[in-house]
Copies of this chain bind each other. A is one copy, B any other.
Amino acid sequence: MGGSLARALRPFAETITGVDPNPVSREYALANGVVDAATDDLKAGVSEADVVILAAPVRTIIAMINDRIGAYLRSNTLLIDIGSTKADICDAMGRLPIGIQAIGGHPMAGKESSGVQESDATLFRNRPFVLCASRRTTPATRDRAIALATAVGAMPIEMEPQRHDKVVAAISHLPYLISAALVATVAQQAEQDDAVWKLAAGGFRDTSRLAAQDLSMTGDFLSTNTQAVATLLAYFRMQLAILEASLIAQENGKLVELLRPTREARIAWGKQDEARRNAK
Residues A108 and B199 in contact, CB atoms below 8 Å apart? yes
CB within 8 Å for A203 and B176 given contacts A215-B259, A219-B259, A262-B187:
yes
Number of identical monomers bound together in the oligomeric complex:
2
Q: Provide the residues of chain B in CB contact with A182, threshold 8 Å.
A: 174-175, 178, 236, 239
Residues A239 and B179 in contact, CB atoms below 8 Å apart? no
Interface residue from B163, B171, B261 paired with A186 (Cβ < 8 Å)? B171
Residues A233 and B223 in contact, CB atoms below 8 Å apart? no
Residues A197 and B256 in contact, CB atoms below 8 Å apart? no
**Residues 141-197 of A contacting B (Cβ, < 8 Å):** 157, 159, 163, 166-168, 170-172, 174-190, 193, 195-197
Task: Beyond the given A174-B186, A183-B266, A223-B247, please list 19 additional residue pairs across the A-B interface where CB-CB is below 8 A.
Answer: A128-B199, A157-B199, A166-B189, A170-B186, A171-B186, A171-B199, A171-B200, A175-B182, A180-B259, A180-B262, A185-B236, A187-B261, A189-B235, A211-B259, A211-B263, A212-B263, A212-B266, A219-B252, A233-B240
